[in-house]
Amino acid sequence: MIAQVMKVDKILEQSLLFDFYGELLTEHQKEIYERFIAEDLSLGEIAEEAGISRQGVHDLIKRCNQTLRGYEEKLHLLEKFLAVKDKVERIEQLLDQYNEEGAEELVRNIRKISGEIIEEL
């Protein structure tokens, strides 16, 4: 069970890092890594589709993981995104708790913009 949870966490981390830094991989890396992340295919299936060896896919994914983590260590985009997301959620909680009559439009507008902030990132 713990191994299962850790596997999900790792895939989630890989998937988030790919969202943030995927564009910095080569086209070939992007194509293979995306299949691994998004389509949840096995190494053997990806290897067969891409016409390379299973070991080649394994090495490429390992190298991509290192590259993506290296970018996060330098730019911290995922860390910053989670911090901003947390702050936007705090704004939304404050608005939830504020039920004054007459403030509906203010609350609605700020809520709309807060949501847009998250979409930008």
Binding site for a second copy (CB under 8 A): 20-21, 23-24, 71, 74-75, 77, 80, 83-84, 87-88, 90-91, 94-95, 98, 100, 102-103, 106, 109-110, 113-114, 116-117, 120-121
Least CB distance to a second copy at residue 47 (A): 28
If the CB atoms of residues 50 and 77 are measured against a second copy, the closer one turns out to be 77
Least CB distance to a second copy at residue 82 (A): 10
Distances in Å between the Cα of 88 and the Cα atoms of 7, 47, 97, 112 are 29, 42, 14, 11
Tell which residue, 61, 62, 7, 59, has the closest CA to residue 35: 61
CA–CA distance, 84 with 120 (Å, rounded to integer): 11
Task: Indicate the length of the chain as a whole number.
Answer: 121
CA–CA distance, 57 with 43 (Å, rounded to integer): 6
If the CB atoms of residues 40 and 86 are measured against a second copy, the closer one turns out to be 86
If the CB atoms of residues 12 and 94 are measured against a second copy, the closer one turns out to be 94
User: Tokens 């389509």 identify what position?
Assistant: 39
Least CB distance to a second copy at residue 32 (A): 18
If the CB atoms of residues 43 and 77 are measured against a second copy, the closer one turns out to be 77
